[in-house]
Structure 1
């Protein structure tokens, strides 16, 4: 028997000059409550999950692929007025500056946001995402026989980042190139924060 879980929030994706690429999930509403998780692909290709709790780690690691999973303190403070995100996640420190709405963000305003039809909307928009955004998919198969759909409602550019791994500076903001390899879809190559609804079909397998 399958049930569907819905996660509402934001996904931020950015690359660094050192080669590390980062995906931040800021979930305002989910079956696990509000939480933030961080997926990191280091310059050598190692894929890491930084999760704030065991239940978050179990769910995310069961849906995506990682080489290592770490349960560590994860905190994200969003200053909407100043357009800043301040992330602390285990060894990762990242301060993000957000810019204006992207062209994709303006287009997303026309996408229906009704939760009940989100998987249908994701199915319809998938061919356009594949065509316009390299590596991006809005529906696909995830881990443990799960299916997943993404529907987006807005997007803003990330214009600057200051990121450290431990005491090592990861360097200036770069594109998310090559695409990250956690699941069937990458984030957009252009650093951005996307307002998103993720629907995951959980099975009893």
Structure 2
């Protein structure tokens, strides 16, 4: 039986000079309550999910592609122009900048339309043309469909990132694109206001 899951909050995409890339979800509303998770792709290409609970980790790993899942203490906050993430071996302190032109354009679209799966299917080719590697609708693992409704976008202008206590290098573009699902984040580090909708077969607990 197909189900629908909705995650509402923010997604941060960060790249570093060492090649470590991180995608962090800060979810104000979700089927698991408020929580945060971090998807990390190491310079080697190894993909790691950092999740706060077995339940959240099991769901996310059933939808996205990882080589490893770790359940770790995870704290994340976004306030007063600052983004802070502590997730096991990952530590990020980032400064947010101005709204991007795409963010300004997204704010002109009524929210109910901007997050609707039918609209997101229609505009996905345009999103991929504007930002290669980025899609707003596509297929996830297990025969599921997924939709990203972005309603705002701000630059990340500065960041210090460490992995296992080692500095990952200065803030850089997210290249190559991350390989967790059908879509990457924008190549330039940013924080998106987003509603993620997932539809499809139920997830069997691990």
Q: TM-score, normalised by structure 1?
A: 0.96
**1:70-149 correspondence to structure 2 within 5 Å:** 70-79=70-79, 81=80, 83-114=81-112, 118-149=116-147
Taking the TM superposition and a 5 Å limit, the aligned residue runs for 1:1-205 are 1-79=1-79, 81=80, 83-114=81-112, 118-204=116-202
Unaligned 5+ runs, structure 1: none
C-alpha deviation, 1:117, in angstroms: 6.3
Unaligned runs of 5+ in 2: none
Counterparts of 1:124 and 1:108 in 2: how far apart (Å)? 15
Aligned length in residues: 203
Name the TM-score, length of structure 2 as normaliser. 0.95
Give a deviation string over 1:40-90, Cα, whole Å, max 9, x none.
Answer: 0000000000000001101100000000000001111222x2x00111000
Cα RMSD between the aligned structures?
A: 1.4
Change in CA separation of 1:116 and 1:96 when aligned onto 2, cut-off 3 Å: closer
CA apart distance, 1:29 = 0.3
